[in-house]
Structure 1
Amino acid sequence: MTAGSDQVRIGRAAEMLGVTVDTVRRWADDGRLTVVRSDGGQRLVPIAEVTRLIGQRRQGSSDRPIIAQSARNRFAGIVTRIEKDRVVAVVEVLAGPHRLVSLMTAEAVDDLGLKVGDEAICVVKSTNVVVEIPSPREARETRETRETRETRG
């Protein structure tokens, strides 16, 4: 999978899902897994499909149980991008229809051994993030206040 790509070859999908290539082909033939064809006819699996199946399999799985967790927003997905310098890293995870971006230390990426294409679970425990759109009157007043400050300053 290349950075920014949203599809993988069936061999890579099988590896990510922990099954054989034959199983992925069978799931595609049975309609359990959606695949697309490349211009050359090669079967490609959308990352969103891999993420969906990982989530389904994890719901009934107890191979890696979590003992306790206070956060309720957990998203199983696939790492689709890592941008890392010496100190900080940006990690992007595609979890179904959701794209989650995490800013973490480069050391944390190394400690986790994260690579593009890896399965990951994003645990979101926000403090308080609110996005508001002001009413037209409030927006006008805010603009006017800002313009007044700029002309005075």
Structure 2
Amino acid sequence: MTQLRIPEVARLLGVSDDTVRRWIDQGRLPARREAGARLHVEGADVAAFLVTRRRDPDGADGVQSSARNRLEGIVTDVQREGLVAVVEVQAGPFRVVSMMTREAADDLALEPGVLATAVVKATNVIVERSPAREAD
């Protein structure tokens, strides 16, 4: 079973280490400590936490959409040329680039520094498994 340290869980969830520790202290995210070892969270527990959190009505932003891949971030670049605009959004560690009409970018008033959500709906998504790492 995959065991994750708190910084790894925080990176995966896009939150701070302190937030993960607070969730553990509140009993929202189970964690274990082996004798004399660091605190860790089972990968399956992180997955279950995410499913529960996704279904939490208090966490909903009120937007209804068939797209489930929503990456909140900040616009880092907008290039307008002719009828087209290329918009870059930094969403946590991910850089998302969108090509849209210039009119759409103008209507949304997209400029560097604006908060935005990249919504991804794709017919093909490639999932790669991370290499296994040795337990501490």
In proportion to residue count, which structure has more strand?
A: 2
Structure of greater Rg: 1
In proportion to residue count, which structure has more helix?
A: 1
TM range, normalised to the smaller chain?
Answer: 0.3 to 0.5
TM-score when normalising by structure 2:
0.47
